[in-house]
Amino acid sequence: MAQKRVLMKGNEVIAEAAIRAGCRNYFGYPITPQTEVMHYMAKKMVQIGGNFVQAESEVSAINMVYGAASAGARVMTSSSSPGISLKQEGISYIAGAELPAVVVNIVRAGPGLGGIQPAQGDYFQATKGGGHGDYRNLVIAPASVQELYELTVEAFNLADKYRMLVMILGDGTLGQMMEPVAFRDEEPVVNYEKPWACTGRGDRKEHNTITSIYIDPDVLEKKNLELQEKYKVVEENEVRYEAIGLEDAEIVITAFSTCSRISKNVIRQAAEMGIKVGMIRPITLWPFPSKIIAETAAKSNVKAFLDVELNAGQMVEDVRLAVNGQKPVYFHGRMGGNLPTQKEILDKIVEIHKGGNV
């Protein structure tokens, strides 16, 4: 049963959701605009007998995550773009050692120190690697505070299920804003057995080891192939998206997270002008909902796609790969921490609809 809606900040909801999902280990380092996750954890973890450590660096924080995950714990860290760059070493090791962990990136504008306002410039980093080696993270992009809650709980289940890192990719808007959220009375927490964890050997005959190093090329290749097999299973089972009005849409917007919620309101405005606009909102950025995009591109009612992002055009590459030349794919992006307005997006829609070269 859902409880009454309460007004809460996105960052605090992430922390609360993690605790509700059974996370008792949080390791972090301060950075704007995700600090409230830390503040909430610093207080709550002590109250409920969990662990909160303010690490000396992002590098150290992610390695504490690695340690706690090795020990079988549900564990989370959160940061924002420059801090996530520092965590990439540990993220790659977590992938290599097949450890479950949740990493939250409340994205700010880059590159470098960039700015502290919302952005989606870390799409490539989140979905295409970030660290070294052939690996994937499951990347989830919530679009509201309610979704931050529900998908953060889910992230812990998915991490344990696949023994992989799940990244919550938010942005400064989602982290900083307050919105109503309705908590469930009971969380759908799935408790996975972790016989592989380093908990002390106890009565076990063999000792457990957690490692990502395989010096023998044949052994490493086999390990990598196993990882790829696992990723295939994830691709088959965990693609999530929201589709709106694809039955009769002439123009289909692709957008995730903050951009999707702004774009959604444009659909209504466009309809008032007689333009049928639909939307595909990837909820998982990896695995990417390529199939529905490809199928939509093949439909005769669909004339074009418009991809809207807070960057110079990153997810649009995946959209184009999925559309595969069947229809034109246009792009509208804002950077530096600016958000597109509904009017900007609507103007673009009108232009595309007129058949102009956009």
Q: Which residue has the tokens 């597109």?
A: 340
Assess 86 for contact with another protein (CB under 8 A).
no
Handedness of CA 222, 228, 232, 237 (dihedral sign): positive
d(CA 98, CA 86): 20
* Shortest reach from residue 250's CB to another protein, in Å: 21
The strand pair at 138-140 and 178-181 is best described as unpaired
Among 13, 17, 18, 27, binds another protein (CB under 8 A): 27
d(CA 259, CA 306): 12
The residue (of 78 and 297) whose beta carbon lies closer to another protein is 78
Draw the binding track, 266-305, toward another protein (x: CB under 8 A; -: no contact). Answer: x-x-------------------------------------
d(CA 162, CA 169): 19
The residue (of 48 and 215) whose beta carbon lies closer to another protein is 215
- Cis before 30? omega within 30: no
Among 12, 19, 40, 72, binds another protein (CB under 8 A): 72
Among 3, 301, 324, 341, binds another protein (CB under 8 A): 341
Beta-carbon contacts of residue 93 (< 8 Å; ≥ 6 apart)? 63, 66, 131, 212
Assess 354 for contact with another protein (CB under 8 A).
no
**100 contacts 159 by C-beta, under 8 angstroms:** yes
**254 contacts 319 by C-beta, under 8 angstroms:** yes
Draw the binding track, 113-142, toward another protein (x: CB under 8 A; -: no contact). Answer: ---x--------------------------
Token output for 20: 């509700």
Assess 57 for contact with another protein (CB under 8 A).
yes
Fill in the DSSP letter of residue 52.
E
* Shortest reach from residue 138's CB to another protein, in Å: 21
Helix (H), strand (E) at residue 236: helix 217-237
Q: Kindly determine how many residues on this chain lie close enough to bind another protein according to the rule CB under 8 A.
A: 64
Instruction: Give, as ranges, the residues between 193 and 212 that touch another protein (CB under 8 A).
Output: 198-203, 207-212
Assess 60 for contact with another protein (CB under 8 A).
yes
Among 23, 64, 252, 319, binds another protein (CB under 8 A): 64
**11 contacts 80 by C-beta, under 8 angstroms:** no
d(CA 126, CA 138): 9
Fill in the DSSP letter of residue 128.
S
**163 contacts 122 by C-beta, under 8 angstroms:** no
The residue (of 96 and 287) whose beta carbon lies closer to another protein is 96
The residue (of 55 and 335) whose beta carbon lies closer to another protein is 55
Assess 242 for contact with another protein (CB under 8 A).
no
* Shortest reach from residue 281's CB to another protein, in Å: 13
Among the listed residues 115, 36, 20, the one whose alpha carbon sits nearest the alpha carbon of residue 78: 36
Assess 224 for contact with another protein (CB under 8 A).
no
Assess 335 for contact with another protein (CB under 8 A).
no
Q: Contact residues for another protein (CB under 8 A)?
A: 5, 7, 25, 27, 32-33, 51, 53, 55-57, 59-61, 63-73, 75, 89-90, 93, 97, 116, 144, 172-173, 176-180, 198-203, 207-213, 215, 258, 261-266, 268, 339, 341-342
